[in-house]
Amino acid sequence: MNLGKVFIVIGIIFLIIGLLWTFIGRLPGDISFKKGNFTFHFPIMTSIVVSIILSLIFFIIGRFR
């Protein structure tokens, strides 16, 4: 597999992740804290979902190699 194809695959993966991130947004389980002018958001559930999806994608890619 040459370098150009690798970059295309990586770009497609990032595009899919970006679209999922837009549609998933803030899931229940994400921590949001607002006090005055300070806002803290830690997407725990979103991170777990993205991690599971990426793990499945890389597992499937690894099986075909």
CA terminus-to-terminus distance, the chain: 11
Q: Residue 25 has what pLDDT?
A: 66
> 56 near 26, Cβ under 8 Å?
no
Q: Residue 5 has what pLDDT?
A: 85
pTM score over 0.75? no
Amino acid at 30: D
Domain boundary assignment for the chain? 3-64
Q: Residue 63 has what pLDDT?
A: 85
Each residue's pLDDT, cut to its tens digit, for the chain (65 residues) gives 588 888 888 899 889 878 877 776 677 888 888 999 998 988 888 888 888 988 998 898 888 77
